[in-house]
């Protein structure tokens, strides 16, 4: 198998965005890797994806999940369910994204990147897990580049993207707030950002947090096997109880409270969603008040509460520089002097 990256000519400007996550130096393409021009670190390429993290990490269960359900949530034919979710959680429109450069943080198997590229955007997708290679495979014919990398050390030039989004991902990091704070620095001045996080308002899923202390220690394969039995059992138990006059709905609520499972009508998505609840090592829940404070502390403006909790959208001010990320304030001037921003397709940072 050829493990060299299969980037098309339209991806050359995307490759020019790559930076060493340590020293921020530019990367030079080699036969089977990329090499930093400053510190000389090398980053291997495998199955068309540049790897900036160790193969084993806390997101391994997501790699298993998206390898197994590689195309389950991709829009097919006339069905546009993922597009509807994307609109709902970002507030973005095709007119906004067409021709723009977009960063998908936690791209998984490419569910939302597929929507963005279909709308005419050029997308860089980042995922900590091996799901990045599934996304690269799913979107091989699109203007898309997947990277396996850490949100806390994104290997990308700052101030480069017109839009950034992260949907259902940051709450699976060790520090959701800190993870979010990393993102605005990658926006161009005037760029838009949107995130969706698990809601802290819904108390139904407290039991899932208790169970997850045990379930996240299971291997991904073992947990998946358990859920293949339990999810249909509790789903159909709930459906049956709902038929009982008067007492049915309270009983359904009780069952869902004791052992929450997805109630999605699609059987594969039910397993996928429930696996997503019980497999991660890290999972936090948040409120609009929290998220608004994060956005405001980054200087983001025009904040909007979106349709599905907890979804928030904001904009980076036109006068805010792209090099003011966490722990970087003191080095802004030297960064500007050493790496001026270029906007053409071969020099863009």
pLDDT in tens, 211-234: 999 999 999 899 999 999 999 999
CB proximity list for 194: less than 8 A, separation 6 or greater: 89, 90, 91, 92, 163, 164, 165, 167, 306, 311, 312, 313, 314
The pTM (predicted TM-score) of the whole model is: 0.83
Give the pLDDT confidence score for residue 12 in this predicted structure.
Answer: 66
Block residue for tokens 């997101």: 59
Q: What Rg, from alpha-carbon coordinates, does the chain have?
A: 21
Do the bridges between strand 161-167 and strand 144-148 make them parallel or antiparallel, or are there none, so unpaired? unpaired
CA distance 36 to 287: 40
Which has more pLDDT, 85 or 247?
Answer: 85
Q: Which of 155-159, 198-202, 343-347 has the lowest mean pLDDT?
A: 343-347
Fold of the CATH domain 9-55+63-199+285-338: Rossmann fold (3.40.50)
In terms of average pLDDT, the best of 76-80, 208-212, 269-273, 291-295 is 291-295
DSSP H helices, the chain, are: 12-15, 60-68, 81-90, 94-97, 111-118, 131-138, 176-181, 206-215, 220-241, 248-258, 267-278, 288-297, 332-338
251-261 mean pLDDT: 85
At a CB cut-off of 8 Å and minimum separation 6, what does 63 contact?
129, 130, 131
Amino acid 306: pLDDT: 93
Question: Where is pLDDT greater, at 68 or 279?
Answer: 279
Give CA–CA dist 22/58, Å, rounded: 20
Mean pLDDT of 255-262: 86
Domain ranges of the chain: 9-55+63-199+285-338, 203-278
- Residue 321 confidence (pLDDT): 61
Question: Cβ of 3: how many Cβ atoms within 10 Å?
Answer: 12
Write down the pLDDT at residue 206.
Answer: 72
Rounded to the nearest 5°, which phi and psi values hold at 36? -75, 130
Q: What percent of the chain has pLDDT over 70?
A: 84
Tell me 177's DSSP state. H
For residue 349, pLDDT beyond 90: no
In the predicted model, what is the mean pLDDT of residues 17-33?
94
């Amino acid at each position: 198998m050829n493990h060299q990256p299969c980037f098309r000519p339209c991806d050359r400007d995307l490759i020019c965005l790559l930076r060493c996550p340590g020293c921020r130096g530019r990367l030079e393409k080699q036969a089977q890797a990329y090499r930093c021009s400053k510190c000389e670190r090398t980053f291997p390429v495998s199955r068309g994806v540049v790897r900036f993290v160790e193969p084993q990490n806390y997101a391994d269960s997501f790699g298993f999940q998206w390898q197994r359900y590689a195309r389950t949530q991709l829009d097919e034919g006339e069905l546009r369910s993922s597009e509807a979710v994307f609109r709902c959680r970002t507030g973005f429109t095709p007119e906004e994204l067409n021709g723009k450069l977009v960063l998908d943080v936690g791209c998984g198997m490419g569910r939302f990147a597929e929507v963005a590229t279909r709308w005419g955007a050029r997308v860089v997708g980042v995922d900590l897990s091996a799901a990045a290679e599934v996304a690269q495979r799913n979107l091989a014919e699109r203007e898309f580049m997947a990277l396996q990398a850490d949100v806390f050390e994104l290997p990308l030039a700052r101030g480069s993207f017109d839009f950034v989004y992260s949907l259902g991902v940051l709450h699976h990091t060790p520090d959701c707030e800190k993870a979010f704070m990393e993102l605005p620095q990658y926006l161009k001045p005037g760029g838009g950002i949107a995130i969706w996080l698990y809601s802290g308002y819904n108390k139904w899923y407290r039991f899932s947090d208790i169970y997850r202390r045990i379930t996240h220690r299971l291997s991904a394969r073992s947990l998946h096997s358990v859920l293949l039995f339990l999810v249909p059992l509790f789903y159909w138990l709930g459906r049956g109880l709902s038929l009982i006059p008067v007492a049915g709905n309270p009983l359904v609520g009780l069952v869902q409270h004791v052992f929450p499972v997805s109630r999605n009508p699609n059987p594969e998505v039910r397993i996928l969603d429930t696996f997503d609840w019980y497999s991660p090592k890290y999972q936090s829940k948040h409120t609009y008040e929290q998220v608004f404070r994060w956005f405001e502390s980054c200087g983001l403006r025009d904040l909007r509460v979106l349709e599905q909790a907890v979804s928030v959208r904001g904009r980076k001010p036109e006068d805010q520089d792209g090099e003011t990320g966490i722990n970087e304030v003191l080095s802004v001037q030297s960064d500007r002097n050493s790496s001026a921003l270029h906007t053409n397709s071969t020099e863009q940072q």
